[in-house]
Amino acid sequence: MKLRLEKWYLDLSSADDVGFYYILTVSLGRLTIGFSGITHSDGSRSLRSFRFSRVRDRSRHVLRLGNAQLSSTLRKADVRIDHGKASITGTWRFCAPPQPRRFRPLYRNERGWCDWKVWTPKAEVKLLIRENGRVRRVRGTGYIDFVRSTFPFWKSPLRSLYWGRMHSPSSWRIFLCLQTEDRRVAQYLDSQTAETDVDVRLNRDSGGRPLSMDWQLGKGRGDLRLQARVNRILESQEILKKGRLLRIVPPLVRKPLNSYGRDEKYAVTAWFRDEHHRGIMEEVFWNE
């Protein structure tokens, strides 16, 4: 029975706010379920909400669930996620077009494949957030990507992932380093550069708290080294605990399924080429 995951990821960052949002579907044979998630922080308050839902409509540019909807064009994406007491409504207006893929798909083996498409590396975002009757309007810059995967959760070949996106007032940068059971796939993108020789290091203090994520692009190219300081941990949890239904699976069962791991996301800042950058970065480990 074939499994297929299709996930839209959108995020936002500003001087005070940072958030990321998911709308996705998981298909197993003829059965398809939808899932949407909200994670948002303004520095003093954090909002986290996740829900399963029925899939009502999906196409290349539209995904409609019972409690969420995303529609996109070449210039913008409109998003709504309504979880009752918590909801967001926003528009991502693209500052740059979808980026061409250097690897199509990103990775493949005999068990399946995964693909990653940067729908926009930078967008101007207007977001309306409602939580328990409290309403806020937020503006910032954001990013959108789209992931497809056919790897069964219980036979994942993925081992680690480091990802990040950074925005300055005039530029954007995207980082990726994926380690699988048999190879390494890496990529760096900005408006003028596409580089596949990428190294990354996450630095932690003696207590294990992340301090910075360092990216080196190309051997001996010191001018393309970026050190991103971790200002806030946005998410730190087991991969298979993102959905309420999967939380009932105990660790002793998850580990043999070959899908056990942890996912952490960080709000980061950096100075690079005399510009201040703000963004989000991520470390994921499978099968720890």
SS3 for the chain is: CCEEEEEEEEEEECCCCEEEEEEEEEEECCEEEEEEEEEEECCCCEEEEEEEECEEEECCCEEEECCEEEEECCCEEEEEEECCCEEEEEEEEECCCCCCCCCCCCEEECCEEEEEEEEEEEEEEEEEEEECCEEEEEEEEEEEEEEEECCCHHHCCEEEEEEEEEECCCCEEEEEEEEECCCEEEEEEECCCEECCEEEEEEECCCCCEEEEEEEECCCCHHHEEEEEEEEEEEEEEHHHCCCHHHHCCHHHHHHHCCCEEEEEEEEEEEECCEEEEEEEEEEEECC
pLDDT score of 152: 82
Q: How far apart are CA 204 and CA 213, in angstroms?
A: 9
Look over the chain and give the mean of its residue pLDDT values, rounded to a whole number.
89
Specify whether the CB–CB gap between 164 and 174 falls below 8 A.
yes
Task: List C-alpha distances in Å: 209 to 35, 180, 226.
Answer: 30, 25, 20
Q: How far apart are CA 136 and CA 104, in angstroms?
A: 40
Specify whether the CB–CB gap between 229 and 259 falls below 8 A.
no
Largest Cα–Cα distance in the chain?
54
Q: What are phi and psi of 129, to 5 degrees?
A: -115, 130
- Tokens representing 5 are 């995951």
- Tokens representing 193 are 């550069």
Q: How far apart are CA 223 and CA 210, in angstroms?
A: 24
- Tokens representing 117 are 């498409």
Across 255-287, b (16+ Cβ under 10 Å) vs e yields eeebbbbebbbbbbebebeeeebbbbbbbbbbe
What one-letter code names the amino acid at 53?
A: S
Reading the chain (288 residues) residue by residue, the pLDDT tens digits are 688 999 999 999 999 999 999 999 999 888 999 999 999 999 888 999 999 999 999 888 899 999 999 999 989 999 999 999 999 999 999 999 999 888 899 999 998 999 999 999 999 999 999 998 899 999 999 999 999 999 887 778 999 999 999 999 999 999 999 999 999 999 999 998 888 999 999 999 999 999 999 999 876 555 678 999 999 999 987 765 444 444 444 454 444 444 457 899 999 999 988 899 999 999 998 865
pLDDT score of 245: 42
Q: CB count, 10 Å around CB of 77?
A: 22
